[in-house]
Amino acid sequence: MEENDPFTIARVKMVNEQIARRGLRNPRLLTALQRVPRHLFMPLTMREYAYEDRPLPIGNGQTISQPYIVALMTSLLWLEGDENVLEIGTGSGYQAAVLAEMARTVHSVERFEDLADSARARLVRLGYYNTQVHCADGSLGWPEAAPYDGILVTAAAAAAPKPLLEQLAEGGRMVLPVGGIQGQMLQLWTREGGKLEYEEVLPVSFVPLRGKYGWSQEEWENPGSTVEG
């Protein structure tokens, strides 16, 4: 790693000021965030903003989360290095790379083929051979590689999708935003002794999860008009 590279310097600053200073101090997490070149997950025109304290557009109307939110969601999974992890919403692949630094295997599911293809190529180019990107409806999870010790969803659903809860391993942890256009809560689900429980962590704002267990465009855009049934 080039120590004088302006991106490396910006990344050290990001980790110190946005992550560690706000109370996330797990050394494995900080090392992972220091290692992943966030700017290489951005379109060229966005790279100069890559280390700013905010989400950024990555194309297809999608966004890459603010560094602190990536760090917080990752930290809630308590990864120690031997886990099989599922991410829903690959987007740029940045979150997947952070997970790949901290777990044994990562499966990441993206519904847009062009995003999935470029994230896959980028992850291989950067040497993340423990990560597989799949193009599919992630609201169904990825049953082929279940169960998962950790599940991280980076798009908001109206409720925790049932297939994801089913694919969570005993002792596993799942982090996801739940809610709509008007407001969402980050939820942390755990499965302990066969019992599923969740707690609310923090209000957040994500793009919608689509697909079978996600939002339809109509429901997302017309809050309150949801048909009961």
Q: Does 214 bind ligand SAH (CB under 6 A)?
A: yes
Contact pick of 32, 51, 62, 123 for ligand SAH (by CB under 6 A): 62
**Which residue, 101, 104, 79, 90, is CA-closest to 154?**
90
Nearer to ligand SAH, 18 or 62 (CB): 62
From residue 73 to residue 102, the character string flagging contacts with ligand SAH as x (rule: CB under 6 A) and all else as - is ---------------xx-xx-xx-------
**CA gap 217, 208 in Å, rounded:** 9
Q: Which stretch binds ligand SAH (CB under 6 A): 19-27, 110-118, 162-170, 175-183?
A: 110-118
Beta strands in 24-123 (DSSP E): 56-59, 62-64, 84-88, 105-110
**CA gap 210, 77 in Å, rounded:** 23
Nearer to ligand SAH, 4 or 217 (CB): 217
**CA gap 111, 135 in Å, rounded:** 5
- For the record, the structure tokens of 10 come out as 């910006």
Q: Does 167 bind ligand SAH (CB under 6 A)?
A: no
Nearer to ligand SAH, 107 or 111 (CB): 111
Instruction: Report the nearest approach of ligand SAH to the CB of residue 194 (Å).
Output: 27
Contact pick of 37, 67, 138, 179 for ligand SAH (by CB under 6 A): 138
Q: What is the CA radius of gyration of the chain?
A: 17
Q: Does 52 bind ligand SAH (CB under 6 A)?
A: no
Q: Does 139 bind ligand SAH (CB under 6 A)?
A: yes
Whole-Å CA distances, 50 to 3, 15, 42, 70: 18, 13, 7, 13
Q: Is 196 helix (H, G, I), strand (E, B) or coil?
A: strand
Which parts of this chain interact with ligand SAH (CB under 6 A)? 58, 62-65, 88-89, 91-92, 94-95, 109-112, 115, 137-139, 154-155, 207, 209-211, 214
